[in-house]
Amino acid sequence: MKPHQLQAFIEGMLEAVILVDPINLRILAANRSAHQLLKVPENSLRDKGIVELTAAPEDLFFWEDVAAGLSESIYSETLLECADKTMIQVERRVKLVRVGMDTSIFVVAIRDRSSQKQTENELEKLIAELRATLESTADGILVTDLNGSIRSYNHLFANLWGLPDELMTQRDDLAIYAWMDKSMIDLAHYSERLDMIARSPLMEASDVLVLRSGKILERVTLPQYARGRPIGRVFSFRDMTQKITDEARLQLAAKVFESSTDAIFVTDASQKIITSNPSFETLCSYTELEMRQKTLRDFFGQESDITLIDQLLDKLEQEGSWEGELWNRRKDGSAYLAMVTLVKVQDERGNTLHYIGFLKDRTESHAAKQKIEELAFSDALTGLPNRLLLSERIHQCITISSRNHSTFALLFLDLDHFKQINDALGHPFGDRVLLQVTERLQRCVRQVDTAARLGGDEFILLLHEADANGAEICAQRVLEELAVPFNLDGMNFTVTASIGIALYPDDGTSMDDLIKNADSAMYHVKERGRSDFRFYQRQMNIGLLSRMKLDHAMRQALEHQLFRLHYQPQINLHTGDIFGVEALLRWNDKDLGEISPSQFIPIAEESGVIVPIGQWVIQHAIRQAAQWNQAGHVLRMGFNVSALQFQQANFVDLIATTLAENQLSPDRIELELTESVLMRDVDENLRKLESLAKLGVKLSIDDFGTGYSSLSYLKRFPIHKLKIDRSFVDDLPQDDSDVAIVTAIIHLAHALKLQVIAEGVETEDQKEFLQAMHCDEYQGYLFSPAISAEEFEQKFLSKIQSPDCQLRVSS
Question: Does 480 have pLDDT greater than 70?
Answer: yes
List, as own/partner pairs, every contact residues 692-695 make where C-beta atoms lie below 8 angstroms and the sequence separation is at least 24, other chains included: 692/652, 692/655, 692/718, 693/718, 695/652, 695/655, 695/656, 695/659, 695/666
Helices and strands, number each (H, E), in the chain: 31, 31
Q: Is the pLDDT of residue 211 over 60?
A: yes
Mean pLDDT of 129-134: 65
Q: Is 217 helix (H, G, I), strand (E, B) or coil?
A: strand
User: Each residue of 212-240: b (16+ CB within 10 Å) or e?
Assistant: eeebbbbbbbbbbeeeeeeebbbbbbbbb
Residue 244 clears pLDDT 80, i.e. is over it: no
| pLDDT digits 0-9 by tens, 292-312 | 878 888 888 776 677 888 888
DSSP-derived pairing of the beta strands 273-276 and 497-504? unpaired
DSSP 134-180: HHHSSSEEEEEETT--EEEE-HHHHHHHT--HHHHSS--HHHHHHHH
- Per-residue model confidence (pLDDT) at position 492: 87
Q: Which residues contact 484 (CB under 8 A, 6 or more apart)?
A: 440
Q: Looking at 155-159, 549-553, 745-749, 765-769, which range is the least confident one?
A: 549-553
CATH number at 118-239: 3.30.450.20
Q: Which CATH architecture has domain 382-535?
A: 2-Layer Sandwich (3.30)
Query: What pLDDT sits at residue 762?
Result: 94
For residue 584, the one-letter residue type is L
CATH top-level class of 3-112: alpha beta
Top CATH class, 549-800: alpha beta
The pLDDT score that the predictor gives to residue 805 is 36
pLDDT value of position 570: 95
State pLDDT tens for residues 421-440: 888 888 899 999 999 999 99
For 166-206, what is each residue's pLDDT tens digit? 887 777 889 899 999 998 888 888 898 888 888 888 888 88
The whole-number pLDDT of residue 394 equals 93
- The 8 Å CB, 24+ separation contacts for 274-282 are 280/359
Euclidean distance between CA atoms 244 and 31, whole angstroms = 75
Q: Average model confidence (pLDDT) for the chain?
A: 84
Class of domain 247-368: alpha beta
pLDDT tens column, 137-152: 778 888 888 888 888 8
Q: Give me the pLDDT at residue 212, please.
A: 83
**pLDDT at residue 554 greater than cutoff 70:** yes
Could you read off the pLDDT of 664-703 as tens digits, one per residue? Answer: 999 999 999 887 777 777 788 889 999 999 999 999 998 7
What average pLDDT does the segment 773-778 reach?
Answer: 95
Q: Quick one: how far is CA 450 from the chain centroid?
A: 24
Nearest to 222 by CA among 357, 388, 378, 362: 362
The residue ranges of DSSP E strands in 257-334, in sequence order, are: 263-267, 273-276, 321-329
pLDDT of residue 371: 64
Q: Which residues contact 246 (CB under 8 A, 6 or more apart)?
A: 347, 348
Q: Are 303 and 338 in contact (CB under 8 A)?
A: no
Q: Are 112 and 37 spatial neighbours (Cβ–Cβ below 8 Å)? A: yes
Domain spans, the chain: 3-112, 118-239, 247-368, 382-535, 549-800
CA 465, distance to chain mean position in Å, is 29
pLDDT at 600: 86
More confident residue, 798 or 788: 788
- Nearest in space to 600 (alpha carbons), one of 558, 635, 632: 558
Q: What is the pLDDT of residue 308?
A: 82
Rounded-to-integer distance, Cα 682 and Cα 717, Å: 10
Count the neighbouring beta carbons within 10 Å of the beta carbon of residue 401.
Answer: 17
Express each pLDDT in 512-525 by its tens digit: 989 988 988 898 88
Q: Give residue 255's pLDDT band: very low, low, confident or very high (50, 70, 90).
A: low
Average pLDDT over residues 456-472: 93
pLDDT at 711 over 50: yes
Same fold, 118-239 and 382-535: no
Cβ atoms 757, 721 nearer than 8 A: yes
Alpha-helical runs (H) found in 528-631: 547-559, 597-607, 610-630
Lowest mean per-residue pLDDT among 98-107, 358-367, 640-649, 798-807:
798-807
